[in-house]
Amino acid sequence: MKLTLWTYEGPAHVGAIRIAASMRGVHYVLHAPQGDTYADLLFTMIERNGERPPVTYTTFQARDLGGDTAEIFKTAARDAHLRFAPDLMLVGASCTGELIQDDPGGLAEALELPIPVVPLELPSYQRKENWGAAETFYQIVRRLTPGTDRPELTDNVPTCNILGPTSLGFRNRDDVVEVRRLIESLGIKVNVVAPLDASPADVARLGAAHFNVVLYPEIAQTAASYLKRRFGQPMTSVTPIGIGATEDFITEITALAGVARPAKHRDASRLAWYSRSVDSTYLTGKRVFCFGDASHAIAAARVSRDELGFNVVGLGTYSREHARDIRTAAEGFGLQALVTDDYLEVERAIRDLQPELVLGTQMERHIAKRLDIPCAVISAPFHVQDCPARYSPQMGYEGANVLFDTWVHPLMMGLEEHLLAMFRDDFEFNDTAQPSHLPRTSTAPATAPPPAETQPAVAMTETPPAAGLITIAVPSWSPDAEKELGKVPFFVRGKARRNTERFAREHGLATITIETLYDAKAHFSR
Amino acid sequence: MTTLATAPRTQTQRTVLRERGQHEVFCGLTGIVWLHRKIQDAFFLVVGSRTCAHLLQSAAGVMIFAEPRFATAVIDERDLAGLADANDELDRVVGELLDRRPDIKLLFLVGSCPSEVIKLDLSRAASRLGERHGPAIRVLSYSGSGIETTFTQGEDACLEALVTAMQPTEKAPPAASGPDQLLVVGALADVVEDQFRRMLEDIGIANVAFLPPRRNSGLPTVGPGTRYLLAQPFLGQTAAALERRGATRIDALFPLGVEGTSAWLHAAARAFGISPDTVERVIRAPAARARAALDKWRSELEGKTIFFFPDSQLEIPLARMLSRELGLVPLEIGTPYLHRDHLEHELALLPASAILSEGQDVDRQLDRCRDAAPDLTVCGLGLANPLEREGFTTKWSIELLFTPIQGFEQAADLAALFARPLDRRTALKV
Ligand code: SF4
Ligand code: SF4
């Protein structure tokens, strides 16, 4: 039993729902109690899908447990087939369904439906969402590519499949567009993209490509490895996030396709120039903490160091399946990887490291918000606001532009930071001064707070920081040290305060003097 | 499966559509989302699976500003191997939790589908842990599982557990054996609770208590002198538990809208032998204020049709209020469960034309909704966007649990909740 406050990944069957919801013509009959239907809102609310995910939940109840849960399952499967007329049906159980051992696969087989039925055995008490998605995709691919013959490769243009994009994957919708454009610009044809928007018939054509692009190893690795064994299709190993990785990706796929590798083009992405422009000088050495699924976290670390000039101080993932990859990557940064799905542990690590920027999931965004550290989201799980209306891929050249904008934006930009420091003593340029463009009437806020609005459900639990979360005694500030702290520009004052207190604690000082303040400054300066 | 049954107790012989098929409703665990905000020193520990943890997180809307006062002890394969093990594990997890959170005074062990299917006895665990960590910490248990409870029934089960922990009221002197305490039952927003307390005291009921209390130490007593008044329509088990403790129910409409709130307060006064004139004097001003505020919405909402998917069990009192005070026309009123005793008066006030349905077969109901083409559809979060996409205007039902809607001062807010989606539809030109 493990105490869990917030989870990075849902249960394995949610991974299966993601695959079903990504595809066309697939329906999932899930043996599950009614509460499990909450999964629908992930798709309809976070991703604003205009359709319910194609899932029929049997919603058995306690009174059914004695006898006819199997019958309930069969009825549900039969009705779902009639109503939704899918081309392929997935059948399986959620955690509770697994415990009642009704064998959905066997029951569905007995119905003799005229379509392929793929039974899913997802061990709910061991595995999680990404594993469930990968396994489901693999089972579908295996089922739809029977026999031993590889379909004929008809034209002489090199072709590939793009594997791994899914519903509720971070920016997958846009990454597909970007990567497809990139691949096609190299004279390579895209045979099938799956699972996103693929039909079972599309999946059946996977063999008719020279190689597979593994866009998200978390989802596509299992299926791609199978296709390699099955059809001898090689697969890519680079996730094209950032300019360097995009270049490596181009090198890799042009080699796989046997086409000429075009010369690198300096201005293919604005990131390179923006990063060199003088304003970005101030980004140098910013301490950044990267956490997410393994592929996004590793990519973020590389872009941070090589393309933005940050200093990566922490790197980790919640995905134990990819612990090895992240450990290897972390070594390259002289770091020890943090592999945990316990968000309290991540919070502790961030608090200890005091980074200047956090690149993480929505969990890290909340941690960062609490600790007052700028943050950008780079990976699932994400929130409705991370599903933007505009085109904003993470991959390829345009993706690199998006990374520059979204990661640098939360930081104070160079010139701005410089000016703030220069004018910090100016009478209207400190935190107690009112904005000069507002009428200077009283010391009260110039505008009344907006009237309290009804909060929607997705904004429900704005709990104030819990007492007892941080229980370390705070050293006291002497009046002159407090005064000196007041001279520190307000936008770094919080950090100076924290650092000084931490320094005092670590050195067993009960009182902070001006000396302590500057000792701490020297200690923490790079 | 659909059966037509005739409601035995309503004078109108209203037929009820009984449905048995896929439900699209949360389980009782969801109640934790508002209950943990209400009882400020309580912690809710779900003993369940990753699914349960994910449900809570998704229903709570992932607003993670602080360490929440709820969590899940996620059962894993090792626990499934042997039950003795699972109990030890639970004790360990609870120890860990209480070490972290010295501010917790009331711990609920909340059962889930997995804990029930493997027959993990949480009431025994609660008494064992209560002995170990009490009396400073009270440990109770209830089930919020989806195989036993639907959405708001989780609150019912939680309050039922609290009733078992209530101390008996000191025996009153035999001369004064009338009602000695008014107990208002059902979680209300603090602001609503305060308004009701003020009015009930002004009416002249001296001893008013609320269940759930805001803090563990405020748990009221119960006894034969207790008269209880339900503030929420989904509290069947809690009511039965109170009756077992000698309390008597005050039969009333639910306090939604001017009519409901007035009737609710009048019923309370009647039970305490207070004259209707006194009540009228106290409520005259707020009721008039509420009526005036509702008038502004009436012209906009009058004649609009409305369709309720089953969700919170608030559907029937809501439909009553919306039809009688704002002129909306309910087409179908779905409820996950129809508690006839507690809703008798409500049912009598519903327009005869409305179809009542109990239980759910979501796909059939969606078909009926499309056929009925209502102006406004009240449904859960999973259905709202897909229906909007089809061109229907929707109102998320879960908001009705998170927003103060009871009482006079909130009557117009309630109207606004239903008017806003319609306004928005009119405003948008895209
Ligand atoms: S329905 Fe059961 S298994 Fe699902 S979240 Fe609710 S309690 Fe957990
Ligand atoms: S809306 Fe809520 S969940 Fe989303 S980022 Fe803001 S605080 Fe976090």
- Judged by CB atoms closer than 8 Å, whether chains meet at A13 and B51 is answered as yes
Which of B27, B33, B93 faces A460 most closely, judged by CB atoms? B33
- Judged by CB atoms closer than 8 Å, whether chains meet at B381 and A44 is answered as yes
Buried b (16+ CB within 10 A) or exposed e, B306-323: bbbbbbbbbbbbbbbbbb
Q: Are residues B20 and B76 in the same domain?
A: no
- Judged by CB atoms closer than 8 Å, whether chains meet at B385 and A48 is answered as yes
Last residue of a domain, which of B121, B149, B177? Answer: B149
Chain B nearest C-alpha distance from A329 (Å): 29
Q: Are residues B99 and B64 in the same domain?
A: yes
Interface contacts (A, B; CB < 8 Å): 245
In a domain, B249, yes or no: no
Last residue of a domain, which of B123, B149, B175? Answer: B149
Task: Tell me the residues of chain A between 54 and 73 that have a Cβ less than 8 Å away from chain B.
Answer: 56-62, 65
Q: What is residue A412's predicted lDDT score, i.e. its pLDDT?
A: 67
Q: Are residues B317 and B422 in the same domain?
A: yes
Higher-confidence residue of B354 and A493: namely B354
Q: What is residue A461's predicted lDDT score, i.e. its pLDDT?
A: 36
Confidence check: pLDDT of B398 > 50: yes
Q: Are residues B17 and B98 in the same domain?
A: no
Chain B nearest C-alpha distance from A190 (Å): 31
Task: Kindly list the residues from chain B whose CB atom is less than 8 angstroms away from the CB atom of residue A37.
Answer: 22-26, 382
Q: Are residues B138 and B41 in the same domain?
A: yes
Q: Which long-range CB contacts under 8 A does A63-69 form with residues at least 24 apart?
A: A65/A100, A65/B117, A65/B147, A69/A31, A69/A100, A69/A102
For A146, the token pair is: 């029977």
Whole-number Å distance between alpha carbons of A322 and A341:
12
Is A471 touching B (CB cutoff 8 A)? no
> Partners of A164 in the beta sheet?
none
Q: Are residues B370 and B344 in the same domain?
A: yes
Q: Please report, for residues B17, B335, B426, the alpha-carbon distance to residue B357 in angstroms, rounded to integers and kept in the order given.
A: 4, 6, 30
Domain housing B364:
2-24+293-429
Last residue of a domain, which of B118, B149, B180? Answer: B149
Whole-number Å distance between alpha carbons of B159 and B247:
15
Task: Tell me the residues of chain A between 330 and 369 that have a Cβ less than 8 Å away from chain B.
Answer: 344, 362-363, 366, 369
Chain B nearest C-alpha distance from A189 (Å): 34
Q: What is the pTM of this model?
A: 0.88
Is A100 touching B (CB cutoff 8 A)? yes
A49-102: per-residue pLDDT in tens? 999 999 999 999 998 987 789 999 999 999 999 999 999 999 999 999 999 999
A230-246: per-residue pLDDT in tens? 999 999 999 999 999 99
Residues B47, B121 contacting (CB under 8 angstroms): no
Mean pLDDT of B331-352: 94
In a domain, B276, yes or no: no
Dihedral sign for Cα A470, A475, A479, A485, please: negative
Q: Are residues B400 and B297 in the same domain?
A: yes
Indicate the pLDDT class of residue A109, thresholds 50, 70 and 90.
Answer: very high
B178-214: per-residue pLDDT in tens? 799 999 999 999 999 999 999 999 999 989 999 999 9
Cα angle B182, B241, B36; round to 5 = 75
Q: What is residue A241's predicted lDDT score, i.e. its pLDDT?
A: 98
With a 6 A CB cut-off, is A365 part of the ligand 2 pocket? yes
In a domain, B140, yes or no: yes
Q: Are residues B127 and B46 in the same domain?
A: yes
Q: What is residue A492's predicted lDDT score, i.e. its pLDDT?
A: 73
In a domain, B247, yes or no: no
Task: Kindly list the residues from chain B whose CB atom is less than 8 angstroms away from the CB atom of residue A124.
Answer: 49-51
Task: Kindly list the residues from chain A whose CB atom is less than 8 angstroms away from the CB atom of residue B77.
Answer: 123, 125-126
CATH code for the domain of B359: 3.40.50.1980
Whole-number Å distance between alpha carbons of B18 and A96:
26
User: What spacing in Å lies between the alpha carbon of A356 and ligand 2's midpoint?
Assistant: 20
Whole-number Å distance between alpha carbons of B129 and B57:
26
In a domain, B229, yes or no: no
Is A440 touching B (CB cutoff 8 A)? no
In a domain, B288, yes or no: no
- Judged by CB atoms closer than 8 Å, whether chains meet at A3 and B383 is answered as no
Q: How many domains is chain B built from?
A: 2
Q: Are residues B8 and B102 in the same domain?
A: no
Chain A nearest C-alpha distance from B100 (Å): 8
In a domain, B79, yes or no: yes
Q: Are residues B20 and B48 in the same domain?
A: no
With a 6 A CB cut-off, is B62 part of the ligand 2 pocket? yes
Q: Are residues B82 and B64 in the same domain?
A: yes
Q: Are residues B11 and B53 in the same domain?
A: no
In a domain, B402, yes or no: yes
Is A253 touching B (CB cutoff 8 A)? no
